[in-house]
C-alpha cells in the first residue's frame, strides 16, 4: 500500500516572521531553527508584513556592512516561499484581535490569514497562542508549534 503523502501534494504552512529571520542572517530560538530544514517537504507561505517586521529588526541590529547578506536572504525567501495576501476579512478580523488586547497586529494577521485560508500557521509565540485560547479563538488545526509540525510530517 502506498504512503498517503506520496500520492498527495505537499502540505502547506504559513510561517511567521521568526522563520524568515535566519535567511536574513539573524539567529532565532533553536526550536525554530531545527524545523526550517523540514520546509523542503512543505509548501511554505509568508506574508509581506512578515518581511516588513523582519526589516524593523534588521534596522536595529544588522550593521551596514552585513546588508548584502540581508539582500541575498530576501531574494531567497521570495524565490523559495510563496507570498500570500490577506483578504479583507482577515485584515478586519486581525484588527478585532488587536482590540481585544493582543498588541501585535502582525501576529493577529498571520493568525487570521491561517484561519481564512485553512493553511496552518507555524509559530513559536506561545504567549500569542495562550491569548487566542483565553479569548476563545480556535487554535487546533490553525496554529502549529515546531513540535507539532515534526509530528504532523511523520504521520
- State the sign of the Cα–Cα–Cα–Cα dihedral 5, 16, 105, 28: positive
Residue ranges of domains in the chain:
4-85+118-154
- Give the distance, in angstroms, between the CA of residue 124 and the centroid of all CA atoms in the same chain: 9
> What integer pLDDT is reported at residue 1 of this predicted model?
33
> What integer pLDDT is reported at residue 76 of this predicted model?
97
User: Do residues 36 and 149 lie in contact, with contact meaning Cβ atoms separated by under 8 Å?
Assistant: no
User: Do residues 28 and 61 lie in contact, with contact meaning Cβ atoms separated by under 8 Å?
Assistant: no
> What integer pLDDT is reported at residue 8 of this predicted model?
63
Which pTM was predicted?
Answer: 0.91
> What integer pLDDT is reported at residue 154 of this predicted model?
83
The CATH number that domain 4-85+118-154 falls under is 3.40.50
62-94 pLDDT tens trace: 999 989 999 999 999 999 999 999 999 999 999
Other CB atoms within 10 Å distance of the CB of residue 95: 14
* Residues of the chain with confidence (pLDDT) below 70: 1-8, 155
Three-state SS at 14: strand
> What integer pLDDT is reported at residue 136 of this predicted model?
97
Amino acid at each position: 500500500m502506498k504512503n498517503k503523502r506520496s500520492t498527495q501534494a505537499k502540505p502547506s504552512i504559513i510561517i511567521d516572521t521568526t522563520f524568515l529571520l535566519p535567511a536574513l542572517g539573524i539567529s532565532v530560538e533553536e526550536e525554530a531553527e531545527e524545523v526550517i530544514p523540514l520546509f523542503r517537504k512543505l509548501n511554505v507561505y509568508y506574508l509581506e508584513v512578515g518581511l516588513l517586521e523582519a526589516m524593523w529588526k534588521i534596522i536595529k541590529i544588522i550593521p551596514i556592512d552585513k546588508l548584502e547578506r540581508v539582500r541575498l536572504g530576501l531574494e531567497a525567501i521570495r524565490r523559495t516561499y510563496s507570498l500570500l495576501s490577506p483578504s479583507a476579512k482577515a485584515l478586519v478580523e486581525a484588527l478585532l484581535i488587536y482590540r481585544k488586547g493582543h498588541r501585535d497586529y502582525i501576529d493577529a494577521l498571520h493568525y487570521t490569514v491561517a484561519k481564512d485560508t485553512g493553511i496552518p500557521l507555524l509559530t513559536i509565540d506561545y504567549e500569542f497562542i495562550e491569548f487566542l485560547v483565553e479569548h476563545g479563538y480556535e487554535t487546533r488545526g490553525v496554529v502549529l508549534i515546531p513540535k507539532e509540525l515534526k509530528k504532523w510530517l511523520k504521520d
